Amino acid sequence: MKKQLIQLIQNIINQVLKNHGIENDSAIDVQTPPDRKNGDFSINAAMKFAKACKCPPQKLAAEIVALLEAETQWFSKVSIAGPGFINMYLSDEIIEKYFNELCNNKNILTAAVNEVVPTVVDYSSVNIAKQMHVGHLRSTIIGDVLSRVIEALGNPVIRQNHLGDWGLPMAMVIYKAEPIIRKAEKDGVSLEEVLPLAELEKLYKAATAECKEDPKVADTCHEYLVKLQQGDKELLDLWKKITRVSMAEVYRIYRLLNVKLTEADERGESFYRDMLADTVEEIKKSGLLKEDAGAQCVFLDEFKSKEGNPLPVIIQKSDGGYNYATFDLAAMRFRTHKLGAKRVIYVTDARQALHFKQVFATARATGILADPNVKLEHVPFGSILGEDNKPLKTRSGENVKLAELLKEAVDRAYNVVNEKNPKLSEEQKKDVARMVGIGAIKYADLSQNRNNDYVFSFDRMLALNGNTAPYLQYAHARICSIFRKANESIDTYSAKAKISAPEERELMLKIMDLEQAVVSVATDLRPHVLCNYLYELSVCFSSFYDKCSVMNCEDSSIKASRLEICNMTRKTLAYGLNLLGIEVPREM
């Protein structure tokens, strides 16, 4: 509806401007007045164009209003306020018309993307032999939401999990794990049993410590690395086994988090190992590769070091090895040439901003992208802090393990479910506890502007009221409950919606705003916009629920209409929460 409204207003304003001898091609900003007593929508065009028209804003506004008022099917009232705001009050009929059209539409999202953009989303990017900690939460769930949203708008999305699965750390783990794996194979014991991820992590830490103390161990690990990189069959076999054991635990967490990443999305650093030399060659062709202190570098004017000297992007280390810039550049070639990406999105923490700035600039300057118009976007996010405003740690100084965090959330949610709805079966309680606990954590993270650090707090994340996932889930569950009581099927119900109360009107208008929120997330890559929208939708519903009884409504056509409005609310909530990767219980 908003689309048509904007088009209508745009035409009218352009016509008025034309009468003043001005050709306008800029988009008109249609907004919602802060106080809804001032109408459903407002425009400030009269003030904006007053100067150009050499016409007082009030007079210009009057001319626009005259034309808007003629659109009686759209507006019940149009007025001028303050210095020249034009406030528009929609007619109930037009809201009903577009709302019922949306109800009859197969897809809740009608937006067809103008241009389909194949998009790579690089997120989660876990390291092998390391447990996921809270720091991995943000990349994993923000990337997951962005993938879902961009996909929902009709773009092909290729998810990429850029695993840290290559290099010296892997050699060190292999060095320590080798005897354990050999023994397990001899004894016929599964690796998951003897080498759970927590154990692998210990081995890695032990190896790091040993390398520091004993140069011999360090040398051995380096030998392992060289052999591994040369493709030694036995070491590759061990490497593969360790990777699978390590990822098994990661997938357990992905499943719990309802994150869509699968084994097919794994393209770790190891995947690019045979493309690194080619990538350096390709960069060399651009003529920008220069040797400096033995390393192969690209110098770009825009980057300066501490002392103000030119800052290199190191493509090949002085020992001939490759570093993370090389891997990212190789991945960029692969993604644009082989995967056909026209948009590549990197979801990593804000500390890597400079790295990506450099890599993007290098890719463009050296021309290694398949298409110079490929959009490269870094989606940075802040750190999760403890209540002392410092990065979240346990008492022993370790990073808080993601697995522990999620378990705690589900446990707490279970206690609440048990208290609030003891009639549910044990199985249902567990299900609901999972949906509510995980949903709360995800929503608490996603609903914040990702730019900022935030302070982690269980109490806030699992709060029962206010702007939280359980609040949205509760609205959904209540609607389902109404349909159970009314003995109607939520999956097939259909009726004509009409306005009989202001709360219905507000709710209907809000439902029609979903598309705008989704498009905004896909464009600006900020999931909290969708969270805000869904929260506002739930607030509208709760208010409606309180004022407009469905079951006790005597007029049967109003009752049918309210059921339809409820159902559309439910569908919209479920759709939006699904984009956030948050499950929606029908009872809780």
Partner RNA sequence: GCAUCCUUAGCUCAGUUGGAUAGAGCAUUUGCCUCCGGAGCAAAAGGCCGCGCGUUCGAAUCGCGCAGGGUGCGCCA
Residue in 67, 463, 495, 558 binding RNA, rule: CB under 7 A = 463
Question: Segment 64-83, which members bind RNA (CB under 7 A)?
Answer: 81-83
- Of 63-71, 212-220, 238-246, 457-465, the window that binds RNA (rule: CB under 7 A) is 457-465
What SS3 class is residue 400?
coil
Cβ contact 158:118 at 8 Å: yes
CA separation for the pair 420, 417 (Å, rounded): 5
CA separation for the pair 560, 284 (Å, rounded): 70
* Count of positions (residues) in the chain: 588
- Of 8-16, 146-154, 229-237, 304-312, the window that binds RNA (rule: CB under 7 A) is 304-312
Q: Other CB atoms closer than 10 Å to residue 54's CB: what's the count?
A: 10
Task: List the Cα angle 507/509/513 in 5-degree steps.
Answer: 110
Q: Are strands 30-31 and 41-43 parallel, antiparallel or unpaired?
A: antiparallel
Q: Is 308 in the site for RNA (CB under 7 A)?
A: yes
Long-range CB pairs of 182-190, under 8 A, 24+ apart, other chains included:
none
Residue in 73, 104, 425, 465 binding RNA, rule: CB under 7 A = 465
Question: Segment 162-181, which members bind RNA (CB under 7 A)?
Answer: 164, 167
Residue in 312, 439, 527, 581 binding RNA, rule: CB under 7 A = 312
Helices (DSSP H) in 487-547: which residue ranges? 502-511, 514-524, 528-547
Residue in 12, 17, 24, 44 binding RNA, rule: CB under 7 A = 44
DSSP structure string for 184-248: HHHHT--HHHHS-HHHHHHHHHHHHHHHHH-HHHHHHHHHHHHHHHTT-HHHHHHHHHHHHHHHH
Q: Is 117 in the site for RNA (CB under 7 A)?
A: no
Q: CB 168 → RNA: shortest distance, Å? A: 7
Q: Is 271 in the site for RNA (CB under 7 A)?
A: no
Question: Segment 533-552, which members bind RNA (CB under 7 A)?
Answer: 535, 539, 542-543, 545-552
Q: Is 16 in the site for RNA (CB under 7 A)?
A: no
Nearer to RNA (CB atom), residue 184 or residue 574: 574
Q: What residues form DSSP beta bridges with 399?
A: 393
Q: CB 475 → RNA: shortest distance, Å? A: 8
Binding pattern for the stretch 395-424 against RNA, x by CB under 7 A and - elsewhere: ------------------x--xx--xx---
Q: Is 449 in the site for RNA (CB under 7 A)?
A: yes
Binding pattern for the stretch 94-113 against RNA, x by CB under 7 A and - elsewhere: --------------------
Q: Is 323 in the site for RNA (CB under 7 A)?
A: yes
Q: CB 68 → RNA: shortest distance, Å? A: 14
- Of 11-19, 196-204, 450-458, 491-499, the window that binds RNA (rule: CB under 7 A) is 450-458
Q: CB 472 → RNA: shortest distance, Å? A: 9
Nearer to RNA (CB atom), residue 248 or residue 551: 551
Residue in 217, 339, 350, 370 binding RNA, rule: CB under 7 A = 350
Question: Segment 357-386, which members bind RNA (CB under 7 A)?
Answer: 382-383
Cβ contact 134:408 at 8 Å: no
Distance of CA 50 to CAs 27, 69, 297, Å? 16, 20, 55
Q: Is 431 in the site for RNA (CB under 7 A)?
A: no
Q: Other CB atoms closer than 10 Å to residue 20's CB: what's the count?
A: 14
Rounded to an integer, what is the distance from CA 254 to the centroid of its chain? 15
Nearer to RNA (CB atom), residue 194 or residue 486: 486
Residue in 145, 170, 314, 584 binding RNA, rule: CB under 7 A = 314
Q: CB 65 → RNA: shortest distance, Å? A: 13
Nearer to RNA (CB atom), residue 91 or residue 421: 421
What SS3 class is residue 117?
coil
Nearer to RNA (CB atom), residue 470 or residue 581: 470
Task: Provide the sign of the torsion angle of the four alpha carbons 207, 405, 146, 362, taken in this order.
Answer: negative
Amino acid at 401: K
